[in-house]
């Protein structure tokens, strides 16, 4: 399907990457001709045009969007820092293969990224097969990004065979590649024989029930993966149960992203049981997974005793106020959670009241997102009273919460007494998601597209 929108066209200037990094982008074709790259609709909300002279060395031609879509800690967990920028080189498959086969120690990262049109990939199946064969013999490549190249099940099978031989790769990004359950089965089998891969991105592929269960079986048997992204992969509540059972056995996975899947609440009790016993998972993204109040109430029972989870995104789910007391109990009991997103969950004054009460006792939460909920001024005043007593919260998002100037004044007065706090009104907070689909924008904990900020700082409305 075509890839449109800001994420498909954005380009960011940030510097020059190490010569050991190859980064390719479909836009390079135009840049070769014009020496220019256009930056339109970037995630920062800024649109500009950047004219770039062709550098002295012809293989370096433009600055393209840096990657991955991951918080720095996820990338560190995968064995590498987020690169400061991406200076592209021409797409030279033969040259790339030669460096892989000769085990060039400076050649550690490949990115072949096309998000403009999924039907026009930069590389084809034969290229992927050659790349996989070279990867199997390489000892230095640590990151391979092949997002949106439509490598399909044939490409996935070739890379799976490479993973069984390779011991250097730490991060593999295969998002938007039309991989189905057959390709996932091959990858899952390879994971059981590979003990070095740390991060696997499979979002926006059609895994389905069989694919998810194959991955769950792999997770239960291997201990190198610390991050797996399965957002928008057509997995359901039964698949969630399989993954949850794997979490009880897996002691290494730290980041699990399941957003935009129709998981529902049917098997929330299996996940709750896993959370009660699992101590390694630090980030769980359940944004837009059709989780209802009953599911949250069930999850809360596991969260109260969990000691590992730090970030939980429950945004864009029809939770409502029924689970208010349960969410408050989590904040009172759990001493480890630092980020909670409840953006656009149909919350009202009852939930705000319960959370405000819990915040007076909580000492671990630093970020709370209540944006896009109809809280009102009464809720704002209750939260303001809680903020005078809370000593841990540093970021509170109340964007689009039906709060008038009266409510904001109460919050501003509270902030004068709590100088650690940053209140965000008509604004957003940084995204905590490791994945952003171009066709269906998802901004993780924020749930909102970047907008002009209205920041309450130093007791003044800005």
The domain spanning residue 364 has which CATH number? 3.80.10.10
Tens of pLDDT, residues 276-288: 999 999 999 999 9
Provide the pLDDT confidence category of residue 124 given band limits of 50, 70 and 90.
Answer: confident
What is the 3-class SS of 47-65, one letter each residue? CEEEECCCCCCCCEEEECC
Check: pTM over 0.85? Answer yes or no.
no
Least confident of 45-54, 225-234, 308-317: 45-54
Mean pLDDT of 163-184: 96
Higher pLDDT, 459 or 137: 137
Does residue 1 fall inside a structural domain? no
Measured CA to CA, the distance from residue 70 to residue 76 in angstroms comes to 10
Query: Residue 96 pLDDT more than 70?
Result: yes
- Identify whether 186 is part of a domain: yes
Is the residue at 110 inside a domain? yes
Whether the pLDDT of residue 291 is over 90: the answer is: yes
- Domain interval for residue 134: 6-461
Question: Which positions ≥6 away from 447 have C-beta within 8 Å?
Answer: 287, 315, 316, 341, 343, 344, 369, 371, 372
Asked if 143 and 108 count as a contact pair (C-beta separation under 8 A), the reply is: yes
* Residues near 383 by beta carbon (within 8 Å), at least 6 away in sequence: 352, 355, 356, 359, 375, 396, 398, 411, 414
Task: Please tell me the predicted confidence (pLDDT) of residue 329.
Answer: 94
pLDDT greater than 90 at residue 90? no
Domain annotation covers residue 70: yes
Higher pLDDT, 49 or 372: 372
| pLDDT tens, position by position, 3-51 | 333 332 222 222 222 333 333 333 333 322 333 333 333 333 222 222 2
Tell me, yes or no, whether 213 lies in a domain. Answer: yes
Percent over 90 (pLDDT), the chain: 63
Structural domains counted in the chain: 1
pLDDT for 115 equals 52
What's the pLDDT tens digit per position in 432-461? 333 333 333 333 333 333 333 333 333 333
């Amino acid at each position: 399907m075509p890839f449109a929108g800001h994420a498909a066209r954005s380009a960011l200037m940030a510097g020059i990457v190490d010569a050991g990094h190859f980064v390719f982008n479909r836009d390079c074709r135009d840049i070769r001709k014009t020496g220019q790259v256009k930056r339109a609709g970037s995630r920062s909300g800024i649109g500009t045009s950047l004219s770039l002279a062709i550098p002295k060395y012809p293989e370096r031609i433009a600055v393209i969007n840096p990657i991955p879509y991951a918080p720095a800690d996820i990338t560190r967990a995968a064995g590498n820092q987020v690169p400061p920028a991406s200076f592209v080189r021409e797409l030279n498959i033969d040259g790339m293969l030669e460096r892989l086969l000769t085990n060039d120690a400076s050649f550690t990262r490949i990115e072949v990224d096309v998000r403009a049109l999924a039907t026009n990939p930069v590389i084809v199946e034969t290229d992927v097969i050659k790349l996989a064969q070279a990867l199997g013999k390489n000892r230095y490549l640590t990151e391979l990004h092949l997002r949106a190249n439509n490598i399909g099940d044939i490409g996935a099978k070739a890379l799976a065979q490479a993973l069984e031989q390779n011991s250097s790769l730490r991060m593999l990004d295969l998002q938007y590649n039309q991989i189905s359950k057959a390709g996932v089965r091959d990858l899952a089998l390879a994971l059981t024989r590979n003990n070095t891969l740390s991060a696997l991105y499979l979002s926006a592929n059609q895994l389905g029930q069989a694919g998810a269960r194959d991955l769950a079986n792999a997770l239960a048997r291997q201990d190198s993966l610390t991050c797996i992204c399965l957002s928008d992969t057509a997995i359901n509540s039964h698949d969630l149960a399989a993954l949850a059972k794997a979490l009880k056995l897996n002691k290494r996975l730290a980041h699990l992203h399941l957003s935009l899947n129709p998981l529902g609440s049917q098997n929330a009790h299996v996940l709750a049981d896993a959370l009660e016993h699992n101590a390694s998972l630090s980030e769980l993204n359940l944004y837009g997974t059709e989780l209802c109040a009953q599911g949250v109430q069930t999850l809360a029972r596991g969260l109260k005793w969990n000691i590992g989870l730090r970030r939980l995104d429950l945004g864009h789910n029809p939770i409502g106020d029924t689970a208010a007391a349960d969410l408050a109990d989590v904040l009172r009991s759990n001493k480890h959670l630092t980020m909670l997103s409840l953006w656009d969950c149909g919350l009202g004054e009852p939930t705000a009241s319960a959370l405000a009460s819990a915040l007076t006792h909580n000492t671990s939460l630093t970020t709370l997102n209540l944006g896009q909920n109809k809280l009102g001024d009464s809720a704002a005043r209750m939260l303001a009273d809680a903020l005078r007593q809370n000593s841990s919260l540093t970021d509170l998002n109340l964007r689009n919460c039906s709060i008038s100037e009266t409510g904001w004044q109460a919050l501003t007065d509270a902030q004068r007494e709590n100088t650690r706090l940053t209140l965000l009104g008509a604004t957003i907070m940084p995204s905590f998601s490791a994945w952003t689909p171009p066709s269906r924008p998802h901004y993780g904990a924020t749930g909102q597209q970047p907008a002009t900020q209205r920041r309450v700082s130093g007791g003044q409305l800005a």
